[in-house]
Amino acid sequence: MLLIKRNEPHVIFVPYPSQGHINPLLQFAKRLASKGVKATIATTKYTVKSIHSPNISVEAISDGFDEGGFSQAQKADVFLKSFEENGSRTLSQLVKSYENSTHPISCIVYDSFLPWALDVAKKHGIYGAAFFTNSATVCAVFAHIHHSTFSLPVKIEENEPLSLPGLPCLYPLDVPGFIRDPESYPAYLAMKMSQFSNVENADWIFDNSFHELEGEIAKGVSEFWPARLIGPMVPSSYLDGRIEGDKGYGASLWKPLSQECLNWLSTKANQSVIYISFGSMVSLTPNQMEEIAYALISSNMNFLWVVRETEKCKLPKGFIESTKGKGLIVSWCNQLETLANEAIGCFVTHCGWNSTLEGLSLGVPMVAMPQWSDQMTDAKFIDEIWKIGVRPKLDELLGIVRREELLFCLKEVMEEGERSYEIRRNAGKWKDLAKKAVSEGGSSDKAINEFIDSLN
């Protein structure tokens, strides 16, 4: 009889196939690989070629739309139903293909948007771990909805905010819009709620945050959602430096224009440039684009603004020409390299959780301009709780940030003064705490080591 020698544990990671979900799961895979665990990313056929990372294997599974992914499906409910059906089948085949190898799969770490992956793990008698890509605060809110602490739609008033254990009071502008108006994004709300459909059966729950940042919040909801905080899942070179050469996530569905940005930034003084990016999905209204543009002109400050090709038509006529030298408009750039550049003085952000963690981990002050979903809650924490930035007030009639308000906030952060000093001091403090969390013996490092020990 041939004896097969079993080697180190083998963890397979199943991300939701979008940039903001692939990146943190791939970063977790790299953390485990650096500690001697065999790590494999199982992603859709449409995204498989975008992932290149040393020491990480990449395998393809199917979402049923192998030529174009979500854009081929066009509807969220159609895509998710197809992904569950085809993903379950092909992931199961993948697990089976490793059964008689030297590296049988020990655990499936799956994006919490894909709860069916836990059923695959249980079917094969292996561990299943849910990975949540939002803040612990946002996860806590949805965990409470799942456990009927309050029901939807929730009526939140300025004089009667949402109050939950361990969380600060959340006012109307602090919660995802579809909590107040569940009909606004029904497919997305259903996806958010499905994260909790079978999570009590998971062997572990992980969240991309860290104890010093949201430990008390996670503790307050641990009865419903006993998550281990293992973040921030930001490439090691920008934090502890323990993973050699880890300067990027290793996955890009976009083509960054890094060198152009870096060459331009090298001509600017330290902390003199405003970096503006609203991520890969947000589409601003022409009115909001115009207000940002005129605020930048009035500021007379240097700026680097990421504007996708499809959005450039919304810029005021002549804006690019009139700001040459002071401003650079690019369709994409490497955000981590940009934020790490000494020329950057502040980050105007949509407050997606990955962008928030990147800004926080690199100690960059922020101007918080959330557009929807969890971004509203992240913005509250940037401004009021962590005090690492400012949140411009919305024009109540138009529902956008006006140029005068944005200009005021840019000056608050960029120009010398008491508020600017406090923000920069806090940004430095959180940068140090993020680094400490993932460094040897830090809170996140310990949680990851405990996970690895349980697999051996």
Name the residues annotated as catalytic. Answer: 21, 111
Distances (CA, A) of 141 to 35, 125, 149, 303, 372: 33, 31, 9, 36, 15
Residue carrying structure tokens 């905080």: 229
In 107-199, which ranges are continuous DSSP H helix? 116-123, 136-146, 177-180, 186-194
Strand 366-368: give its sheet, edge to edge: 327-330, 302-306, 273-277, 344-349, 366-368, 389-390
CA–CA dist 261, 119 (Å, integer): 45
Question: Residues 366, 382: contact at Cβ < 8 Å?
Answer: yes
Distances (CA, A) of 328 to 181, 210, 296, 334, 410: 38, 34, 12, 14, 17
- What is the DSSP secondary-structure string of 52-98? --TTEEEEEE--S-TTTHHHHH-SHHHHHHHHHHHHHHHHHHHHHHT
Question: Residues 287, 423: contact at Cβ < 8 Å?
Answer: no
Question: Residues 382, 389: contact at Cβ < 8 Å?
Answer: yes
CA–CA dist 452, 456 (Å, integer): 7
Residue 101: CB partners within 8 Å, gap ≥ 6?
A: 4
Q: Among candidates 148, 147, 207, 135, which has minimal Cα distance to 174?
A: 135
Residue carrying structure tokens 């006993």: 226
CA–CA dist 433, 431 (Å, integer): 6
Q: Among candidates 236, 311, 244, 324, which has minimal Cα distance to 279?
A: 311
Longest dimension (CA), the chain: 79
Q: Which amino acid is at 374?
A: D
CA–CA dist 78, 47 (Å, integer): 18
CA–CA dist 115, 129 (Å, integer): 10
Question: Residues 356, 347: contact at Cβ < 8 Å?
Answer: no
